[in-house]
Amino acid sequence: MVQTTVVLPTYNEAENLPLMVDALIALPVNILVVDDGSPDGTGDIAEHLAAEHRGRISVMHRTEKSGLGTAYIAGFTQAISLGAEYIIQMDSDFSHQPKYIPDLIAKLEQGYDLVIGSRYAWGGGVDSSWGPYRKLLSWFANAVYVRVLLGIPVSDATGGYRIWRRETLIGMGLDRIHSNGYVFQVEMVYVAHRLGFKIAEIPIYFPDRARGQSKMGSGIVFEAAARVWQLIYRHHALNPQMRRTEVS
Ligand SMILES: Nc1nc2c(ncn2[C@@H]2O[C@H](COP(=O)(O)OP(=O)(O)OP(=O)(O)O)[C@@H](O)[C@H]2O)c(=O)[nH]1
Ligand SMILES: [Mg+2]
């Protein structure tokens, strides 16, 4: 059995985390929760769940809310050092549905280095409550703007439901990643692509969160659009010879 770890960043997900763990524990994966000192006690709940499912769940506590990007970098680094071969990243609010995990693993095993769960791949979709403007903006940002500018073979560059091979994350060198928030997701896929890693997508349906509160506003989309240019400047010269061979 290939050791697979799901990295779950949490900030005030007290309602969602126990349900998420219930769903994930039924799958052949370990869980690594990265909690940023959630005021609602998510960190304590994570510890109780870890005690209940000893050996399947570990928890990292950071003292303050420091953003999704740095939470993933910390979680990926820890998952690698704990020996994970496959590393899955997903939100804890059920917008990323655990039922797609077997599809992500199966696709990776067809010989890819990174697989992205895509809302804009054929057969995927977003919550039916999204209005036409929001839908069009998100589709355009991902499937056209970022895709064309960065030349990446991906229709959902900001999507955060992904599976990585350990060798991909090590080869990328996580110290090369500077962004937090939405752009973090874009920077990760761009660096992977410039280094020649093979990337695929599977379609996912993306429902809105049913419980708890959103931490990210939609205004961030415009800032992210500008920051894509910064990513080009920073990483366009990377090539497959520049892969790393060990964790730095
Ligand atoms: N550790 C950590 N987790 C975070 C932070 N910000 C957000 N998260 C988690 O990251 C995931 C995504 O955050 P959401 O608030 O759902 O952001 P979003 O999906 O863009 O917004 P919605 O679509 O409205 O849910 C959730 O599991 C959050 O709990 C943070 O600063 N630190
Ligand atoms: Mg969400």
Q: What is the pLDDT of residue 213?
A: 85
- Across residues 44-54, what is the average pLDDT? 98
Least confident of 9-23, 81-95, 215-229, 231-245: 215-229
Write out the two tokens for 77. Answer: 């680094």
Nearest residue (by CA) to ligand 1, atom 12, is 91
Ligand nearest to the CA of 215: 1
Q: Using an 8 Å Cβ cutoff, are 189 and 152 in contact?
A: yes
The DSSP annotation for 62-73 comes to: -SS---HHHHHH
**Phi and psi torsions of 23, nearest 5°:** -70, -40
Q: What is the pLDDT of residue 219?
A: 60
Q: What is the pLDDT of residue 214?
A: 80
Strand pairing class (4-10; 30-35):
parallel
Q: Is the pLDDT of residue 224 over 90?
A: no
3-state SS class at 207: coil
Q: Is the pLDDT of residue 218 over 70?
A: no
Exposed, middle or buried, 229 (CB in 10 Å: 0-12/13-18/19+)?
exposed
Cα 56 to ligand 1 centroid, rounded to whole Å? 23
Cα 110 to ligand 1 centroid, rounded to whole Å? 30
Write out the two tokens for 238. Answer: 């990377």
Nearest residue (by CA) to ligand 1, atom 21, is 214
- Determine if ligand 1 sits within 6 Å of the CB of residue 34: yes
Mention every residue, 6+ apart, whose C-beta is less than 8 A from residue 109: none
Cα 106 to ligand 1 centroid, rounded to whole Å? 26
Least confident of 15-24, 41-50, 214-223: 214-223
Strands of the sheet containing 4-10, edge to edge, are: 57-61, 30-35, 4-10, 86-89, 162-165, 114-118, 199-203
CA distance 65 to 227: 22
Q: What is the pLDDT of residue 182?
A: 82
Beta bridge partners of 165: 86
Q: Is the pLDDT of residue 148 over 90?
A: yes
Which atom number of ligand 1 is nearest to the Cα of residue 93? Answer: 27
- Determine if ligand 1 sits within 6 Å of the CB of residue 95: yes
Q: What is the pLDDT of residue 3?
A: 98
User: What is the model's pTM?
Assistant: 0.96
Q: What is the pLDDT of residue 1?
A: 83
Q: From 215, 218, 223, give the residue whose CB has the most ligand 1 atoms within 8 Å, as the site to mutate.
A: 215
Ligand nearest to the CA of 129: 1
Q: Using an 8 Å Cβ cutoff, are 233 and 158 in contact?
A: no
Q: From 45, 91, 211, give the residue whose CB has the most ligand 1 atoms within 8 Å, as the site to mutate.
A: 91
Nearest residue (by CA) to ligand 1, atom 13, is 215
Cα 142 to ligand 2 centroid, rounded to whole Å? 17
Q: What is the pLDDT of residue 246?
A: 83
- Across residues 175-194, what is the average pLDDT? 95
> Which of 139, 224, 140, 221 lies closest to 190 in space, CA to CA?
224
| Residue 39 CB coordination number (10 Å) | 11
Q: Using an 8 Å Cβ cutoff, are 80 and 247 in contact?
A: yes
- Determine if ligand 1 sits within 6 Å of the CB of residue 7: no
Distinct helix (H) and strand (E) counts, the chain: 9, 9
pLDDT confidence of 215, banded at 50, 70, 90? confident
- Determine if ligand 1 sits within 6 Å of the CB of residue 15: no
| pLDDT tens profile 52-73 | 999 999 999 999 999 999 999 9
